[in-house]
Chains A and B, each alone.
Chain A
Amino acid sequence: MKRKILIHCGTGGVGKTTVSAARGLLSALRGDRAVVVTLDPAKRLATSLGLEGLGDHPTDLTPHLKVALQKLRSQGFDVPETVPGSLHALMPDTRRTFEQLVVDLGFSAEGAEKLIKNPIFEIFAREFSGTNEYMAVQRLHRLNRDPQFDRIILDTPPSRNTLDFLNAPKLLTRFYEEKALQWLLAPSSRLAAFGMHKALDALEKLTGGGFMTHLVGFVASLFEVQENFSKNLREVTALLEGSSTGFIMVASPAPEHVLEVSHFAEGITRRGYHFDGLILNRSLAHLGPLTGIPADPAWDEARRILEGLQAREKRGLEALVHGAGIPDPILLPELARDVHSVEDLVHVAMALDRSPLGH
């Protein structure tokens, strides 16, 4: 079935942003009203797409796409003539999404101010490892209700663990389920109160005065909006688990990614999400034998590097398809230079189109 939302996951450095942008472009060429949500693209990619300095608001790239198609046709490339759909892109502003969320959660003006001024909140908003992920999901949630779009392509923030993205809402849910935090506000039994008292004594010894006051204030603030927060978490989780959302992994075809890829595919499926396939980017398999090169040591070394990489890719692919049991990955050829125009992105989209899973 066709998904409305496609989420691209993967570790950094595999070209996830380029793949997501190309996927959005391909959708527009097939008649979708597509929006690409991209985080932190390369400066040149952003500049060439007209995204530089742009924030939270979707920008219409359809006119740029039309011009690019014209240009490519005049250079003799075989590309579609028209854009039956439309293409928008945006870069979510985490801070702004956060502030919007605070309003949506129904904090009183006074309560919101108290929360934002709490030094623990300050650290939380900046350093909580799930903040970016969680805010991207919030932005997705809002876009999903925007009738302007019928296809949303999300490029997730780079993370060490590709499943972090899905864990972010769960981590926050855990916060409310954590009895210890509720005891902090009002211990439910004398024994608990005694243990808590002792532990807090020790904690206060380590941290000095003041910390406990801030902590209690912070926890109290979050419990003030528990009902709305839980509702939001349920909605977001339902959105990610629903059949209109698919997850795609972007990786490079190297043996060291095999474990990560199978871990991701298995983790996604086990949690009840929909795994929609694997894109192996930066493949060198399409390059033929190296011929017609000058005879010198530098080129000899370059040959050893290329052949070594190709041999490694072959082993990686075998391990993925046979070992990890992931059939029909899309192979995208490695680019010989950075993407710096919409035309370049059309080239990538066409390569994506030629592959079996490109629908």
Chain B
Amino acid sequence: MTGAANCKAIPQDFMTSNDLKSLLNRRLLFVIGKGGVGKTAITESISRSLPGRVLWVSIEDPTRPPQDMKQLGANLWSLNASAGPSFAEYAELKIGARLLLHFFLQNRLVQYLATAAPGIRELVLLGKIWFERQNYDHVVIDMPSTGHGVAMFRSTRNFGNLFGSGPVHSDTEAMNSVFRDPAQTGIVIVSLPEEMPLQESLELKDLLSDLFPKNEAALICNRRLPELREPPASSQSRDAKTVGAASAEGATSPESAESALSPFALDSADYLWRKSRLEKENLARLWDSRGLRYASLPFVAPEVGREHTHLVETLAARLQALREETAS
């Protein structure tokens, strides 16, 4: 089974390959979204599908040592960005390796602020990413889930305002000007075709557009089921009245007929059929109705033993294909 075979089953794409190309060409690419939507796999897939020197950044991954840097391929590196070391690096950059730096970093108040003061961790993490961008063609960042991710971006604004002058102020300003520039930075919101993630993505998009009005975030709908034809068995096993109402198109809303059914599926075929239909309804109601453009990624069937590798390979192939498609 190849990635291409999966792609054929994917419903219409609303994002053109030009949109995607423009997005993937930017030096900084932030991948953000609700927990469990597949951000990490997508970040890795993007990192592996990009040309040039690429840095794939995870934020404070507890399974890796802080600030751990690994080379994964000829042109691919992976960094576990961590607040503590980033803070020390920043201080050294600004204060210089002098006695004062020692006093500063050893001071318990400073240590306390560096770990506990709200916003400082977020700020230094973004600062580290911002600084590293000079050394690579692409930096792809696996952001913390929604709320914490937005808090990270907001920290630059908060601190920019709080510190009226001085190096922190000018650095946060400089960071902000890079993040809000669509020529340099892209933001990708990853979502799933379910009600809550789709809804949350809209809210996230609004929050981000408040922060970066001229740098619109792109949307990816991950884990889409193939579009299915109705199985003959499913109508037989249902209440005739309900099915009649559901198939009378336009006359009754399919939703009201649905709601008379148990929310649990009768069997496997019923489950897949209802799930794929629900997916389309959710997307139509929440995203399509707003005229949003987005890219879809397939639900990759888990392959026992090599789930992760298979998933990343398939998604990377799909992204590659989208990049290379000529706009029609």
Q: Is the beta-carbon distance between A205 and B166 smaller than 8 angstroms?
A: yes
Q: Is the beta-carbon distance between A308 and B304 smaller than 8 angstroms?
A: yes
Residues of A within 8 A of B (CB): 11-14, 42-44, 75, 77, 119-120, 123-124, 126-129, 158, 160, 171, 174-175, 178-181, 183-184, 195-196, 198-211, 214, 284, 287-294, 296-299, 301-302, 304-309, 311-312, 315, 333-341, 343-344, 347-348, 351
Q: Which of A199, A296, A341, A351 has the most CB of B within 10 A?
A: A199
Binding site of A, secondary structure by majority: helix, strand, loop or mixed?
helix
Q: Is the beta-carbon distance between B233 and A291 smaller than 8 angstroms?
A: yes
B289: CB under 8 A from chain A? no
Closest chain B residue to A208, Cβ basis: B166
What's the Cα separation between A107 and B195 when bound, in Å? 43
What's the Cα separation between A315 and B307 when bound, in Å? 13
- Which of B23-31, B100-108, B177-185, B205-213 lies at the binding interface? B100-108
Within 8 A of A (CB), among B292-310: 299, 301-304, 307
Within 8 A of A (CB), among B275-328: 275-276, 278, 282, 299, 301-304, 307
User: Known contacts A206-B94, A301-B226, A301-B301; can you find 12 more A-B pairs with CB under 8 A?
Assistant: A12-B145, A120-B162, A198-B104, A199-B104, A203-B104, A206-B91, A210-B163, A297-B5, A305-B301, A308-B302, A338-B195, A347-B264
What's the Cα separation between A315 and B109 when bound, in Å? 48
Q: List 24 A-B contacts (CB under 8 A).
A: A13-B196, A123-B158, A178-B116, A180-B107, A181-B109, A200-B109, A202-B101, A206-B94, A214-B162, A287-B268, A287-B271, A288-B267, A291-B268, A293-B269, A298-B227, A301-B5, A302-B272, A302-B276, A305-B299, A305-B302, A336-B275, A337-B263, A337-B275, A341-B259
B79: CB under 8 A from chain A? no
Query: B36 — which chain A residues lie within 8 A by C-beta?
Result: 11-14
B214: CB under 8 A from chain A? no
Closest chain A residue to B161, Cβ basis: A119
User: Out of B107, B225, B232, which one reaches A199, CB within 8 Å?
Assistant: B107
Query: B272 — which chain A residues lie within 8 A by C-beta?
Result: 290, 293, 299, 302, 306
Query: A347 — which chain B residues lie within 8 A by C-beta?
Result: 262-264
What's the Cα separation between A195 and B111 when bound, in Å? 13
Q: Which of A127, A180, A339 has the most CB of B within 10 A?
A: A127
User: Out of A120, A129, A287, A308, which one reaches B267, CB within 8 Å?
Assistant: A287
Known: A199-B107, A290-B268, A299-B228. A123 touches B162 (CB 8 A): yes
- Which of B70-78, B128-136, B147-155 lies at the binding interface? B147-155
B35: CB under 8 A from chain A? yes
User: Out of B192, B227, B269, B301, which one reaches A308, CB within 8 Å?
Assistant: B301
Query: A198 — which chain B residues lie within 8 A by C-beta?
Result: 100, 103-104, 107
Q: Is the beta-carbon distance between A181 and B9 smaller than 8 angstroms?
A: no
B194: CB under 8 A from chain A? yes
Known: A180-B107, A288-B268. A124 touches B263 (CB 8 A): no
Q: Is the beta-carbon distance between B259 and A292 smaller than 8 angstroms?
A: no
Q: Is the beta-carbon distance between A335 and B264 smaller than 8 angstroms?
A: yes
Q: Is the beta-carbon distance between A202 and B259 smaller than 8 angstroms?
A: no
**Min CB–CB distance B274 → chain A (angstroms):** 4
Known: A119-B162, A195-B103, A208-B166. A160 touches B144 (CB 8 A): yes
Closest chain A residue to B154, Cβ basis: A127
Q: Is the beta-carbon distance between B302 and A311 smaller than 8 angstroms?
A: yes
Closest chain B residue to A312, Cβ basis: B302
What's the Cα separation between A288 and B271 when bound, in Å? 10
Query: B147 — which chain A residues lie within 8 A by C-beta?
Result: 158
Query: B259 — which chain A residues lie within 8 A by C-beta?
Result: 340-341, 343-344
Q: Is the beta-carbon distance between A178 and B112 smaller than 8 angstroms?
A: yes
User: Out of A120, A209, A284, A301, which one reaches B165, CB within 8 Å?
Assistant: A209
Query: A196 — which chain B residues lie within 8 A by C-beta?
Result: 107, 109
Q: Is the beta-carbon distance between B148 and A160 smaller than 8 angstroms?
A: yes
Closest chain B residue to A42, Cβ basis: B196
**Min CB–CB distance A284 → chain B (angstroms):** 8
Q: Is the beta-carbon distance between A42 and B195 smaller than 8 angstroms?
A: yes
Contact with A along B42-57 (1 / 0, CB 8 A): 0000000000000000
What's the Cα separation between A333 and B144 when bound, in Å? 29
What's the Cα separation between A171 and B116 when bound, in Å? 8
Query: A304 — which chain B residues lie within 8 A by C-beta?
Result: 1, 301
Q: Is the beta-carbon distance between A203 and B110 smaller than 8 angstroms?
A: yes
What's the Cα separation between A14 and B304 when bound, in Å? 22
Query: A195 — which chain B residues lie within 8 A by C-beta?
Result: 103, 106-107
Closest 9 CB pairs of A and B: A208-B166, A292-B233, A199-B107, A13-B36, A180-B108, A308-B302, A208-B165, A304-B301, A180-B109
Query: B108 — which chain A residues lie within 8 A by C-beta?
Result: 178-180, 183
Q: Is the beta-carbon distance between A205 and B167 smaller than 8 angstroms?
A: yes
User: Out of A14, A43, A184, A287, which one reaches B109, CB within 8 Å?
Assistant: A184
